[in-house]
Homo-oligomer: A and B are copies of this chain.
Amino acid sequence: MKQWTQGWLSYSPKKDCGNNKFLKKISFQGFDKESVILQNAIKELEIGIAGMLSVKTEVTFEEQLETGIQIVKNNEIHSEGYNIEEKEGILTLQASDERGMLYGIYALLRQISMEKSLTDIKIAEQPGSPFRMYNHWDNMDGSIERGYSGKSFFFVKEEVVVNERTRDYCRLVASVGINAVVINNVNVVGPATYLITDRYLEKVKEMTDLFSGFGIKLFLSLNFAATIELGGPNSADPLDPEVIKWWEQKIGEVYAKIPNLGGFLVKADSEGRPGPFTYGRTQADGANMLADIIKPYGGIIIWRCFVYNCQQDWRDYKTDRARAAYDNFIKMDGDYHDNVILQIKNGPMDFQVREPISPLLGGLKKTNQMLEVQVAQEYTGHQIDVCYLIPMFKEILEFKTYCAKEHDTIADIISGRTLGNINTGFAAVINTGNDKNWTGNDLAGANFYGFGRLAYNMKLTAEEIAEEWIRQAFSNDTEVVEKVLKILMESRATYEKYTTPLGIGWMVTPHVHYGPSIDGYEYSRWGTYHRADHLGMGVDRSDKGTGYAQQYYEPNAAMYNSMETCPEELLLFFHHVPYTYTLKSGKTLIQHIYDTHFEGVEEVEAMMASWATLKGRVNEEIFTVVTERFNKQLANAKEWRDQVNTYFYRKSGIADEKERMIY
């Protein structure tokens, strides 16, 4: 008995739906029989079909079928994409490469799992972005930075672990179309620096090879000061010939051992990490040095843009952390080499429940860009509170930047449509750990699943993704599907209601980032302020304030610049607003704060009540885990409600119109 679940690949018995007839014979045509991906695909088909429909499948090669499934190589299909079509008893799956074939097979299994008929099926999918990536923030001591699902399953006691769970991880990851994974924390400290040395390379190679069998490129986070820490030159200056020589040799060694390594992710000059700034060099100098060395091996350097001054003085109203990524990177647009990708957080701050889109995305016009989101719920409830994030990611993808006449959305940029480039992507700091259910709260599995699906197919709606996941991971029972779907789809709005209002963000317990502390970051060095006084709150980022709004293209810049046209959900991000300001709802700002905070708690109570009716309809263990988390979420929501309402009542002196309890 495995000590972990199979998530959405549990392959429990399903209704036939007329699908059995296709499954008795499956023929592969045109693919290399010896390929590991193919072998893995066949294994998946066999266990999936056996588990769900109790059909014994015969797999053949190069044979025309009368009835059944033909899996055919067709070079006209988009790389990593697939077509599925049923005609007269024969279901044909076409792909131009093994990844596409594998994804297509998972798509077939998904249909069966969701109890959809394969008869008359017609699906064509192709990836939304070349690099679809999970970033794990796992440390080698087994801890996970911002991890809420137990310990690492990649690292235990400073050793790299490759076992049966790693394989199941690959299956889950490949099944949703993820093709790249960074296994270690971007903050590379201690033994993690040694991942590129003999101490660990053998084991990293083993993991890389396992990943490759599922079409996944393994990446490592790199310590920019590895030269110094690994006993090379006592410098990390990217223009120092000794440093360059050291990296040439080091990367040569690594690729000699692991030719299928994807490349490296680097967090430099940020929050105390070393980087090129230390040596008076640019971020481009740093990234290009590594990129040039890794290029002959086909490797990629992913360079994070999370660079800001984390020693700000709260008294300083001029400096604006929101401006930092753009200010630090825009000047070097065009300087980055082809195999460098800048990885840019979705918002200008740090994964708050509501932020505007980073103006650096699309601001850069000559640079490869990768969008980074956070599936790990650092600021969105620690996988205690339910917060289905795919609707937020959809909003991000659909944001119109006006960086070009057409194809100017974030989805366009990271698909390569905007700039016609191929090194682009979509990365998520992922939410897994060695908890039995992988994600702490089972409901957070929807984000683990959903990010991959969305990155692969950006046209899917958040509802479609959620329904797919519920049917596969929980049940096809209509009541379960409808109720869980409603919970997921409302969850982010609910979380936002009881936490920080109208885009202001933060107000969380420092360091921990769970639970309220309204002034917790108000007098800190982190650049994260709400500036609330007795009259109003919010940060003026208009042209009269920090000027952040001017980092956008028009008409976005003008829209954000004015309190009247600024989208209200971001009002306090862009403007300092009186408590008595009337919103479009007709409510004052302060009344809006009170109302949403009372509503937020009521909505959690309603979710809990809805969930409670599912006892007996979902797996007992899932029911219990989720119920326990809901109890904690309710306590958290009440604490937020009471602290926020009390704080702003005490500060504004304006009473709640409805005279509810404020302390």
A residues in contact (CB < 8 Å) with B: 314-315, 317, 516-519, 523, 532-535, 639, 642-643, 646-647, 649-653, 663
Q: Which 5 A-B pairs have the closest CB atoms?
A: A533-B650, A534-B653, A519-B519, A315-B663, A523-B643
Closest Cβ of chain B to A517, distance in Å, is 7
CB of A534 within 8 A of CB of B650, answer: yes
17 inter-chain pairs at a CB distance below 8 angstroms, sorted by A residue, are A314-B663, A516-B523, A517-B523, A518-B519, A519-B647, A523-B639, A523-B643, A523-B646, A533-B649, A533-B650, A534-B534, A534-B650, A534-B651, A534-B652, A534-B653, A650-B651, A651-B651
What residue in chain B is nearest A531 (Cβ atoms)? B650
Q: How far is the CA of A535 from the CA of B535 in the complex (A)?
A: 13
Closest Cβ of chain B to A660, distance in Å, is 13
Closest Cβ of chain B to A375, distance in Å, is 29
What residue in chain B is nearest A532 (Cβ atoms)? B650
Count this chain's copies in the assembly.
Answer: 2
Q: How far is the CA of A367 from the CA of B511 in the complex (A)?
A: 45
A315-B646, A523-B639, A532-B650 known; 17 other A-B pairs, CB under 8 Å? Answer: A314-B663, A315-B642, A317-B663, A516-B523, A517-B519, A517-B523, A518-B519, A518-B523, A519-B647, A523-B646, A533-B650, A533-B651, A533-B653, A534-B534, A534-B650, A534-B652, A535-B653
List, in ascending order, chain B residues with CB within 8 A of A314's CB: 663
Q: How far is the CA of A523 from the CA of B535 in the complex (A)?
A: 22
Pick the most buried of A314, A523, A647: most chain B CB atoms within 10 A of its CB.
A523
Q: How far is the CA of A317 from the CA of B317 in the complex (A)?
A: 36
Q: How far is the CA of A97 from the CA of B314 in the complex (A)?
A: 61
Closest Cβ of chain B to A655, distance in Å, is 11
List, in ascending order, chain B residues with CB within 8 A of A646's CB: 315, 523
Q: How far is the CA of A538 from the CA of B390 in the complex (A)?
A: 46
List, in ascending order, chain B residues with CB within 8 A of A650's CB: 532-534, 651
Closest Cβ of chain B to A597, distance in Å, is 14
Q: How far is the CA of A313 from the CA of B663 in the complex (A)?
A: 11
Q: How far is the CA of A532 from the CA of B650 in the complex (A)?
A: 7
List, in ascending order, chain B residues with CB within 8 A of A517's CB: 519, 523
List, in ascending order, chain B residues with CB within 8 A of A532's CB: 650
List, in ascending order, chain B residues with CB within 8 A of A647's CB: 519
Q: How far is the CA of A204 from the CA of B635 in the complex (A)?
A: 48
Q: How far is the CA of A642 from the CA of B522 in the complex (A)?
A: 12
Q: How far is the CA of A342 from the CA of B649 in the complex (A)?
A: 43
Closest Cβ of chain B to A267, distance in Å, is 27
List, in ascending order, chain B residues with CB within 8 A of A317's CB: 663
Q: How far is the CA of A40 from the CA of B518 in the complex (A)?
A: 59
List, in ascending order, chain B residues with CB within 8 A of A653's CB: 533-535
Closest Cβ of chain B to A319, distance in Å, is 13
Closest Cβ of chain B to A186, distance in Å, is 27
Closest Cβ of chain B to A11, distance in Å, is 46
List, in ascending order, chain B residues with CB within 8 A of A643's CB: 523
List, in ascending order, chain B residues with CB within 8 A of A642's CB: 315
What residue in chain B is nearest A524 (Cβ atoms)? B517
Closest Cβ of chain B to A516, distance in Å, is 7
What residue in chain B is nearest A639 (Cβ atoms)? B523
List, in ascending order, chain B residues with CB within 8 A of A523's CB: 516-518, 639, 643, 646
Q: How far is the CA of A534 from the CA of B655 in the complex (A)?
A: 12
List, in ascending order, chain B residues with CB within 8 A of A535's CB: 653
Q: How far is the CA of A237 from the CA of B535 in the complex (A)?
A: 57
List, in ascending order, chain B residues with CB within 8 A of A533's CB: 649-651, 653
Q: How far is the CA of A317 from the CA of B534 in the complex (A)?
A: 23
Closest Cβ of chain B to A515, distance in Å, is 9
Closest Cβ of chain B to A525, distance in Å, is 11
Q: How far is the CA of A373 from the CA of B28 in the complex (A)?
A: 83
What residue in chain B is nearest A663 (Cβ atoms)? B315
Q: How far is the CA of A647 from the CA of B650 in the complex (A)?
A: 12
Q: How far is the CA of A653 from the CA of B578 in the complex (A)?
A: 13
List, in ascending order, chain B residues with CB within 8 A of A315's CB: 642, 646, 663
List, in ascending order, chain B residues with CB within 8 A of A518's CB: 519, 523
List, in ascending order, chain B residues with CB within 8 A of A663's CB: 314-315, 317
Q: How far is the CA of A535 from the CA of B650 in the complex (A)?
A: 8
Q: How far is the CA of A213 from the CA of B650 in the complex (A)?
A: 60
Q: How far is the CA of A424 from the CA of B642 in the complex (A)?
A: 46
Q: How far is the CA of A314 from the CA of B650 in the complex (A)?
A: 14
Q: How far is the CA of A518 from the CA of B520 in the complex (A)?
A: 10
Closest Cβ of chain B to A547, distance in Å, is 20
Closest Cβ of chain B to A535, distance in Å, is 7
Q: How far is the CA of A643 from the CA of B529 in the complex (A)?
A: 13
List, in ascending order, chain B residues with CB within 8 A of A519's CB: 517-519, 647
Closest Cβ of chain B to A584, distance in Å, is 27
List, in ascending order, chain B residues with CB within 8 A of A639's CB: 523
Q: How far is the CA of A561 from the CA of B317 in the complex (A)?
A: 43
Pick the most buried of A519, A532, A652: most chain B CB atoms within 10 A of its CB.
A519
Q: How far is the CA of A2 from the CA of B374 in the complex (A)?
A: 55
What residue in chain B is nearest A516 (Cβ atoms)? B523
What residue in chain B is nearest A642 (Cβ atoms)? B315
Closest Cβ of chain B to A526, distance in Å, is 14
